[in-house]
Structure 1
């Protein structure tokens, strides 16, 4: 019989995504056909699926852990914030609408049917579905109409494991307090708890662990020590990108935009021993020893262009170029490097136009049709083939397109400035490919010394073994119904 188990957390960013990824790999190691599922995700870090849609990047990693290609059923509702109060609503891989938080609440009842439809397809096709919650079931003010946590668990009849994060402190209150505020029916759906991210000797928490079990009446499935190699896996949040501190090497600086998107483009660079990667925080000046500036993707290109200027980064980039530095713009960053961005229909915010940074002679016009596709490309400068994906609205054109960044099916893609030190491309995921990354780095006198996909696969195996060593994984999987 197909079974399912849901991991919910006492809060956001308690490690649910990594726990599900590790359990997916552990189940696969046991010969089970397993698939990940997240009813609702909120992230601007999206992956393009083979069926031409988009899902949260965390579910793409979990699919990899399961030995599957990413599919839109794995994350049927994806919210992509465009402003502080509104988000694009992606349903089963396709844009449905843009909604404010209050309006989105009205959509939830009709979205639940789509969520259950995707879940049932996965459950019918696999031995086990491992479900990831969103936020926390302790947010009982959001329980009515919920599709992300207990609302889904109730509708689908899925048992729940509650994960707490001891690294934040107060994990006893996290878990016991969650039970205290929940409705009795919801608390009854919880099959047990686990404690995540313990630093040091887990036996030191034996008394606290017992106290949680005694207070809640829930079974404990173990205390999981901190998994240091998590930094080798694609980051779900831009704040999670942690390059090793290095005193030398090619210095690449990425601007941490307010609506930064698809920032996992940077993960392979962060792992290169010959690279220093800096995620430049708002208010910080561009370091004088920067070799390459990356202007990353954005969910709100014109909004983040204004944000970039507000930090003074436009002035910093101009000085960087005068010193002989290089700039790479990816997707929204590519659009910002051009002469103008026109959004007459207000697809990413208020309708209007803004001058770009003027570093590439191309102009962009936003268009309603979203471009979602995986591509095979050839880097124009080195002849290196690589695979990537496009996920954007808008098209860019102008004289600098005569010097393309790459060729896709024989067509020119991207643009390069006349002096060759400013480059723009719509292609995400290019640095995952070892040959391209090595060729690109060699152009700056740096060598590549990593195999990225092998590193991720090895780290997923290590994560599964780490969980098996410290949690009762067999009992967790047996709790699935």
Structure 2
């Protein structure tokens, strides 16, 4: 079986994007390639055609590979609900929760199912590109590992290690990883890549040679900071924590950064609109009064995030925005928060309880054990859209509410206030529709170019692949991967 694993010296070194770009580069060469991540931890997820969910990064990588999404691409997904508890998704379905007390033992027991997915994928394509998680240098997590060296050794897949030069200390990061690894683990690493380089690569020639000398690994290239990467969806919420300027001459759309924010890539299409500035509002800051649109995002812990929203005083900002006639869009948990109450009697997302919502829409939500996972197609604001549902809970209104969307087959979704200013939906991904985005932005006085977001992402993947072809030894990587199958 031909395979190659991309691991990193740490989180956010660019593994996910590199795998997506490699998938597209190899697909452009005519190879059948599929992505794989044994274990992912993210609240950004996508619904697959086989009725499950996988990490959003693997969905992007599948797009890079021009392949249909499948749960085997990410057999284990952990979705953090609280500081020490995560919802456990195995082969696309909820299997309970993992806590810090049972994390290592329960994770070790999942290796068989991880390898089953790996075997199935490997039989369907020429090559599987595997993404690691975090860093193999976290040797305190090595026992029971299924995400990095534990998987690489079990599946006998060669590893290439990625270091991020933009954060500094890349020589120490790569050489230090080599130093702390068990010799048998280190033997799985066959080379390295330096990522996110800015400036003249000739200035790093001595550093590149030093890494090779210190580690004994061969280098596969230095990847510059590629602009196309910034046009791809991000999976890690860490990107939301970076500074951002508030708009000048643009209409402001604001989204509060909830602690357990989920599927925030729903908002990415707004970033492509020249007349809109999307501002992610961090804790400790008010929602700007000049915002024309407030978006309440998805959440993996709806009651806790609703309480946090109140602690921040954001409820006051939102209600004031509503009194001024501003537009509000709630997606999934954000839709639930717009109603009168949210109840979690079984403790699905945390301690059992209930909480008052914002009361801007006339509905109540009760969380339950059944998770809705389905692709959807429909019409909202007179525009067609494609999207997906991913939620636990049912929402009911005491009176017949005006739906936000009508899904194919006649099922209504969400609700919209009589004045059209407050909108809520369970459908993720609908803003990718250029026509729907144009209809929504027209309500806040913005003229949209109505570009299809999927086409923009696809073009960015081709640009990324071209950049990797230029700066990486892809022939060498391919030979390494195919050598594993010999």
Q: Normalising by structure 2, report the TM-score.
A: 0.96
Alignment of 1:237-276 (within 5 A): 237-240=236-239, 246-276=247-277
Q: Name the counterpart of 1:404.
A: 403
Is 196-205 or 38-47 further displaced after alignment? Answer: 196-205
Map of 2:364 onto structure 1: 363
- Please name the residue that 2:474 is paired with: 473
Give the CA deviation at 1:349.
0.4
Deviation sequence 1:251-281 (CA, Å, 0-9, x none): 1101111000011100111111111111111
Q: Equivalent residue for 2:162?
A: 163
Shift in CA distance, 44/401, structure 1 to aligned 2, threshold 3 Å:
farther
* CA positional deviation for 1:245: 6.7
How far does residue 453 in structure 1 lie from its aligned partner after superposition? 1.4
Deviations 1:413-461 (A, max 9, x none): 1112233311111010001111211222223221222331111111101
Alignment of 1:233-382 (within 5 A): 233-240=232-239, 246-379=247-380, 382=381
Question: What secondary structure does 1:203 align onto?
Answer: helix
Number of residue pairs matched?
A: 478
Aligned to 2:416: 416
| CA shift for structure 1 position 401 | 5.0
| Aligned-partner Cα distance in 1 for 2:180–2:188 | 14
Aligned to 1:385: 384
Please state how far the C-alpha of 1:400 moved relative to its aligned partner: 6.2
Q: Give the whole-Å Cα distance in 1 for the aligned partners of 2:430 and 2:238.
A: 21
What SS does the corresponding residue of 2:102 show, helix, strand or coil?
helix
Q: Paired residue for 1:443?
A: 443
Cα drift, residue 240 of structure 1? 2.7
Query: Distance between the aligned counterparts of 2:370 and 2:146, measured in 1?
Result: 28
Alpha-carbon separation, structure 2, partners of 1:88 and 1:400: 34
**Alignment correspondent of 2:59:** 60
Q: Distance in 1 between matches of 2:447 and 2:475?
A: 43
2:463 maps to which residue?
462
Distance in 2, Cα, partners of 1:327 & 1:81? 26
Deviation at 1:247, TM superposition (A): 1.4
Shift in Å, 1:246: 4.4
What is the DSSP-based 3-state SS (H/G/I as helix, E as strand, rest coil) of the residue aligned with 1:368?
Answer: strand
Residue 210 of structure 1 deviates from its aligned partner by 0.3
Gaps of 5+ in 1: none
Indicate the residue corresponding to 1:185 in structure 2.
Answer: 184
Structure 1 distance, partners of 2:107, 2:223, is 34
- Deviation of 1:88 after TM superposition, in Å, equals 0.3
**8 Å CA contact 2:289, 2:317 repeated in 1:** no
Q: Alpha-carbon deviations, 1:42-64, whole Å to 9, x = none?
A: 00000000000000000000000
* Alpha-carbon offset, residue 331 of structure 1: 0.4
TM-score (norm 1): 0.97
Structure 1 partner of 2:29: 30
Which stretches in structure 2 are left out of the alignment for 5+ residues? none
Aligned-partner SS, 2:368 = coil
DSSP 3-state at the match of 2:63: helix
Instruction: Tell me which residue corresponds to 1:135.
Output: 134
CA contact (8 A) 1:401 1:413 kept: no
C-alpha RMSD of matched pairs (Å): 1.3
Q: Secondary structure at the match of 1:102?
A: coil
- The 10-residue stretch of structure 1 (96-105 or 395-404) with the greater mean CA deviation from structure 2: 395-404
| Alignment correspondent of 2:426 | 426
Contact in 1 for aligned 2:362/2:397 (Cα 8 Å): yes
1:205 counterpart residue number: 204
